[in-house]
Amino acid sequence: MPMSPGYIPFHPNPSKPKYKPPPGAVDAHCHVFGPEAKFPFAPDRKYTPCDAPKEKLFALRDFLGFDKNVIVQASCHSKDNRATVDALEAANGRARGVAFVGEEVSDEELARMDKAGVRGVRFNFLKRLVDFTPRDVLTRIAARVEKLGWHIVVYFEMPDLAELESFFNCCRDGQRPRANLEVGLNDSIGVILSNLSMDQERRVYFNEMDKMGLETSAGKKA
């Protein structure tokens, strides 16, 4: 199937960076796409990428000098996590995953993903990538993955932060997060912060997290 117009595929021959990551370095957010013949893209997807299977990802990981990966379920695969799980199972312990699930997911499916190396679920609020999911459904999913010790990745655009704040608080049990929240701001925050120094950027980010009583991915209160 042809790629979506304007979609930019991965570079077939990237240059070697001068920077060498330290031992144990982790690429903390990456995807696998297909291959479509084995893991079809979702019918309701918002875009069609090129195939970028696990073999390509692992080769790039090694080329760039990373030791491990965190493989995040791509929205073009929707709730079919087979491509991500397949990559995790082939990674020989060098990858962990973040899944995208619906309320209909069974406990058996969650257990299989956990065994493969999934350690979190992604709540995606980007309307250009996913359809709306009722907030009460997401809250129930959060309660289920808490039992597995998973965390939640919330992915949103900066202008939507105020609207989502009440929901993020609903994912908390009293003063304790129902599941650890990892906040992933869309690249639109780069537009907002582009004219700020790094120290100013950090203050803006941590300020917003502190307002919501959330923790940073480092586990420290923002």
Residues forming a β-bridge with 97: 71, 118
Q: What tokens were used for 24?
A: 């144990």
The answer to the question of residue 156 being in a domain is yes
Q: Are 206 and 198 in contact (CB under 8 A)?
A: no
The answer to the question of residue 200 being in a domain is yes
Amino acid 83: pLDDT: 98
The number of folded domains in the chain is 1
CATH number for the domain that contains residue 190: 3.20.20.140
Cβ neighbourhood burial of 9 (10 Å; 0-12, 13-18, 19+)? exposed
CA 86/CA 203 separation, integer angstroms = 39
The answer to the question of residue 122 being in a domain is yes
Amino acid at 179: A
Q: Are 209 and 222 in contact (CB under 8 A)?
A: yes
The answer to the question of residue 120 being in a domain is yes
Amino acid 220: pLDDT: 37
Alpha helices in 117-187 (DSSP H): 135-146, 161-170
Amino acid 26: pLDDT: 94
Structural domain of 123: 26-211
Amino acid 173: pLDDT: 55
The answer to the question of residue 219 being in a domain is no
- Please give the distance of CA 10 from its chain centroid, rounded to a whole number: 19
Nearest to 72 by CA among 49, 88, 94, 56: 88
The answer to the question of residue 217 being in a domain is no
Residue appearing with tokens 């390509």? 56
The answer to the question of residue 71 being in a domain is yes
Amino acid 136: pLDDT: 82
The answer to the question of residue 151 being in a domain is yes
Residues 72-98 pLDDT 10s: 999 899 999 999 999 999 999 999 999
Q: Which residues contact 30 (CB under 8 A, 6 or more apart)?
A: 57, 69, 70, 71, 72
Q: Which residues contact 115 (CB under 8 A, 6 or more apart)?
A: none
Residues of the chain with pLDDT under 70: 127-132, 170-222
Instruction: Enter the pTM of the model.
Output: 0.77
